[in-house]
Copies of this chain bind each other. A is one copy, B any other.
């Protein structure tokens, strides 16, 4: 394992990139802005998917799949949506290549031009609501509680692995309801699901709130969000859940006959989280020694490394390692026995540390004599010598502790990086010197928010749910304000 990686202090952006690349999570591909998610990174994403998918199903949702192509004209149907989404898109104009007459490989066949261009979905509200029109006639057809796991494309100019890529993976829920109340409840329910996932699986504390008009999803009436704080004090939007009102139903003419026999427009929500969460995971817990993964999402929670000199010792410790592995697996712990004979123990230690495996067990000949193992915690770097008796129980307990400790540490970080500012000067100073979340008064206008953004690069991350009311004055205009909102510089 190469030691050549940046620390957070030296170069935070480089530190992040080094972890993603050197822990084998992802890499840039030959296609501008598109990443390859490598097996180790994908294994973490699969754990995320499995946990979220179960939560979605437990709340009554089912999965489906809609086309990844959207007719260009669909994007213009919802006025706000076209402004927000129709611009930086991958556009399909042709459906055939042919041999180059000059013999240089293949060229686009000019005969094969599409009548109407297709867009690779940047999000699927339009194609899905066009489909729902055929599914919904009566209140009996509602609610529709559908989710899809899919790839989407937004042609970003500046990309960063996981955080902002042209193609990314996500899930998008799209629900249809007979009443406004039910749709609003659904949007908030999914915010709860995302919060639960972020805090209890990713060990990442999140602020829950609603976006200002400025930051709202294109086509939404309300955008709920969870906002996390990264170790450089910047905010990262980790998930959003939108109450879409009747906007898409109106755009695609989706009506239903109510219980009372009236024709009404359907109410909608949509909600999504993406592979961006992988970036959030990395930046919430990792340290200068590499990746740190919360046990619930770790592909391997425990790695066993044999320590040996002779081949006979290798055989003996591996035999013991296999027994330990199956004892741990019996209680549901995910274990890897690293019995490669092509690499030395020291190399393996460094590799698994950098890749964030929560617990490392080393077993050597002396351990065999004493019935012990050496256990190292990735989060605190503590080492213990454990008797092998009841090892599974002890390790399960340690894994629970690590999961909890990571959350607590991240929460403490957020708390020590959360401030109040009452003047623009104080506000700017905090952002420049410490970063973090700044609670400040704002006059409620789009113009003021934009001006503050231009001056300080900070945006309103959200108006927290259950925000305490407090009289004050906008830090920019001095106009009266009834509550503080949360500002931060953001990813």
The residues of A with any CB-CB pair to B shorter than 8 Å are 27, 29-31, 34-39, 42-43, 45-46, 62-76, 82, 86-98, 105-106, 108, 117-120, 127, 130-131, 134, 140, 146, 150-151, 155, 167, 169, 342
**Contact across chains for A30 and B127 when beta carbons are under 8 A apart:** yes
**Contact across chains for B70 and A31 when beta carbons are under 8 A apart:** yes
Residue from the set A92, A140, A150 with the largest chain B CB neighbour count within 10 Å: A92
**Contact across chains for A42 and B30 when beta carbons are under 8 A apart:** no
**Contact across chains for B90 and A106 when beta carbons are under 8 A apart:** no
Q: Choose among B64, B69, B88, B97 the residue that contacts A87 (Cβ–Cβ < 8 A).
A: B97
By secondary structure, the A interface counts as mixed
Give the chain B neighbours of A34 by CB distance below 8 A.
Answer: 67-69
Of all chain B residues, the one with the shortest Cβ separation from A106 is B86
With A and B bound together, what is the CA distance between A97 and B75 in angstroms?
10
A67 to chain B, nearest CB (A): 4
Give the chain B neighbours of A71 by CB distance below 8 A.
Answer: 30-31
Q: Choose among B31, B64, B73, B117 the residue that contacts A39 (Cβ–Cβ < 8 A).
A: B64
**Contact across chains for A38 and B64 when beta carbons are under 8 A apart:** yes
A-B contacts, 14 of them at CB < 8 A, read: A29-B66, A30-B67, A30-B74, A36-B64, A36-B65, A36-B66, A65-B169, A86-B97, A86-B106, A88-B96, A89-B96, A90-B94, A93-B93, A95-B155
Q: Choose among B46, B64, B93 the residue that contacts A94 (Cβ–Cβ < 8 A).
A: B93
Give the chain B neighbours of A98 by CB distance below 8 A.
Answer: 87
With A and B bound together, what is the CA distance between A98 and B37 in angstroms?
31
**Contact across chains for B131 and A29 when beta carbons are under 8 A apart:** yes
Asked if A91 meets B108 with Cβ closer than 8 Å, knowing A43-B62, A97-B86, the reply is yes
Q: Choose among B35, B108, B130 the residue that contacts A93 (Cβ–Cβ < 8 A).
A: B108
With A and B bound together, what is the CA distance between A34 and B87 in angstroms?
23
A140 to chain B, nearest CB (A): 5
With A and B bound together, what is the CA distance between A120 and B151 in angstroms?
12
**Contact across chains for A76 and B106 when beta carbons are under 8 A apart:** yes
Give the chain B neighbours of A74 by CB distance below 8 A.
Answer: 30
**Contact across chains for B67 and A39 when beta carbons are under 8 A apart:** no
With A and B bound together, what is the CA distance between A105 and B86 in angstroms?
10
